[in-house]
Amino acid sequence: MKCDNHPDRYATTKCLSCRASLCDECTVPLDDGRLMCDRCSLLTILQERHQKAKDKLQAKKRDRDISAVHKKRLWYIRKWAPIFGILILVLIGVNYYVNIPIIESQAIDLEQHPDAMMLVLDQAIRDYAENNEGHVPNTLDELIGKYLPPEQIKLKHLNQFVYVRKSDNSYRIWPKDPKNSPIPDFILTEKGLEPKNVP
C-alpha cells in the first residue's frame, strides 16, 4: 500500500478521519494518540477549539443565570426579613407584657394556622421523597399515616391547600385562600420559599 501523497513510499497508517493512506512523513499524531493527515488534523483541532469556546460561553451564561436567580431571592429575603423580624419581636412583647402564652407547636389548631400546616406538609413531602428515590407524592393524602399523624391531620386539613406535582421530584404548595396566609405572595417548593409568580 503506497502513500497517497508520495507514490514512491509505502504507507504505514491511514488517516482516522478521511482514511487516506499515509507514510510516516504525512502522518500527524494528535495529543490523544489519534493519527491523521495534515488537513484532517487541522480541521479537528479547529473544531475542538470551537467546541471548547462554545462550552465556555455556555458555562458563563449558566453562571450569570444562576447569579440572577440568587440576586432575586436575596432581594425577596431582604424585603421580607425585617417584616418577619418585627412580627417576632411584637409577638414576644405581647407575650411578655400581656402574659399571653405563645402557642405550643403540638397544640396548634391547624385550621386556624395554615402557615404552620403548610410547613408540616412541606416537611412530610420531603420525608416522602427521601424514602422514595427523590419522587414526591402524587397527592397529599398519600402522606397520611406514615408521614402525617392521622389522629391529628385529616383530609379536611389537606383540602385547605393547592398541591401541584410538577414532575417526579418537583412540587408547589400554597393555601387555597390567600387571606389565611401571612405571606400570600409566596409558595413552598422543593427549593424552599419562592415568589408565587415564579413559573
Residues 43 and 117 in one domain: no
Q: Is residue 139 part of a domain?
A: yes
pTM listed for this prediction: 0.43
In-domain check, residue 195: yes
Q: Tell whether 114 and 192 lie within a shared domain.
A: yes
- Choice among 17-21, 72-76, 178-182 with the minimum mean pLDDT: 178-182
Q: What is the pLDDT of residues 105-155, one digit of tens each?
A: 445 566 667 777 878 888 889 899 999 999 999 999 898 888 888 887 888
In a domain, 120, yes or no: yes
111 and 199, same structural domain?
yes
* Alpha-carbon separation of residue 119 from 15, 116, 158, 193 (angstroms): 64, 5, 12, 10
Q: In terms of domains, do 121 and 37 share one?
A: no
What's the whole-number average pLDDT of the chain?
80
**Residues 37, 118 within the same domain:** no
User: Based on the domain organization, do 116 and 190 belong to the same domain?
Assistant: yes
Closest CA to 3 of 18, 24, 17: 24
- Specify which residues 170 forms β-bridges with: 167
Q: What is the mean pLDDT of residues 4-32?
A: 89
22 plus 112 within the same structural domain: no
The predicted pLDDT at position 103 comes to 39
For the stretch 28-62, pLDDT in tens is: 898 888 899 988 988 888 888 888 888 888 888 88
Query: Is pLDDT larger for residue 167 or for residue 154?
Result: 167
CA dist., res. 132 & res. 178, Å (int): 31
Within a domain: 163:
yes
Please give the residue range of the domain that contains residue 128: 104-199
The answer to the question of residue 138 being in a domain is yes
The answer to whether position 17 is within a domain reads yes
Q: Given the C-alpha cell 415568589, which residue does it identify?
A: 195
pLDDT greater than 80 at residue 92: no
**pLDDT above 90: percentage of residues in the chain:** 10
Q: How many domains does the chain have?
A: 2
For residue 78, give the C-alpha cell.
Answer: 431582604
- The answer to whether residue 157 sits within a structural domain is yes
